[in-house]
Amino acid sequence: MAATTPATPSPGAPGDRPELHPAGAPPATGGENPLLHAAKLVREAVPPLHPGGRPVIAAVAASAGAVRLLTGRGTGAGLLATVATAAFFRAPRRVPPLRPGAVLAPADGTVALISEVVPPAELDLPREPVTRVSVFLSVLDVHVQRIPMHGRIRSVEYRPGAFLSADLDKASEDNERNGLVLETQTGHLVGVVQIAGLLARRIRCDVQPGDEVAAGETYGLIRFGSRVDTYLPPGVAPEVSVGQRTIGGETVLANLAVEKDGPVTDAVVEDAVVQDAVVQDAGEKGRP
């Protein structure tokens, strides 16, 4: 029987063996400069700043520089104060979940209270008890506020008041606050109230009645410790618990498609589809 010689794989045949890089050569990066690529990764990891914080950051940095010029000391402390102030005003990008009828948390923080209450008069909502979800923000939390659902701003109302600790129940009625009512395309009304806290002395709201808004986009800011209340439509139960951490623009507080003992409605699902489309379009345009 004649001896057979094993077939030698063709060096050019795809899939016969892995393609190896020459010794010492780095993997291909598509022609991009490694340093520019690293800088891009660092830039994407650092969250952008809310415009409302820039004057404060500049003031802290200027004060630190003045102290350094006058005393020759305090460089480290000045840099630390400036970085800490910048971190407070961070506005990280968020990706809203694609969930029909989802009411998203308007702020980062901890669910401090869940109660059945009559909404405050300035919201101009029906005078009947609804579920209120209160999120408390510590000084370490992100302090920008976000739109909970796609819709249209129906009203915005500011009320002066006291500066009690934001985790107290009476802070909803006694503290300085700014409330808005969001109307969805299905006619649901969702109230959101920014409440100043013990240290907070400034509430900023960047939306006006008539504005069309998308879920997850930023609309306001509260400086240095605060609270945000969300008033759900009648009959809608919360999907969070007291003590739970929330991420603004991502955590689902409630679902309008699942009302108490009620079925999912076609209108709510249709509204959710429109909401998802608007959110995706906003993301493509680079909105936070």
- Cα distances (angstroms) measured from residue 221 to each of 56, 67, 203, 205: 13, 29, 6, 7
Q: Are residues 152 and 268 in the same domain?
A: yes
What is the spatial distance between Cα 236 and Cα 252, in angstroms, rounded to a whole number?
13
**What pLDDT does 47 receive?**
67
Same domain flag for 148 and 195: yes
pLDDT band at 153 (very low <50, low <70, confident <90, very high): very high
Q: Please indicate, yes or no, whether residues 84 and 106 belong to a single structural domain of this protein.
A: no
Name the residue range of residue 66's domain: 51-88
* Digit-coded pLDDT (tens) for 47-97: 666 676 677 767 777 887 888 788 878 778 878 877 766 666 777 888 899
| pLDDT tens by residue, 210-251 | 999 999 999 998 876 689 999 999 999 999 999 999 999 999
Considering the domain architecture, whether residues 202 and 177 belong to the same structural domain is answered as yes
Both 185 and 123 in one domain: the answer is: yes
Segment 126-144, tens digit of pLDDT: 999 999 999 999 888 888 9
Residue 38 lies in a domain: no
Q: Does 8 fall in a domain?
A: no
Over range 162-191, report the average pLDDT: 82
Is residue 12 domain-resident?
A: no
Whether residue 31 has pLDDT greater than 70: no
Domain count, the chain: 2
Mean predicted lDDT score pLDDT of the chain: 77
Catalytic site positions: 226
Who has greater pLDDT, 274 or 46? 46
Based on the domain organization, do 116 and 66 belong to the same domain?
no
Percent of the chain with pLDDT over 70: 68
Work out the number of other CB atoms within 10 angstroms of the CB of residue 184. Answer: 23
Residue 1's CB: how many other CB atoms inside 10 A? 3
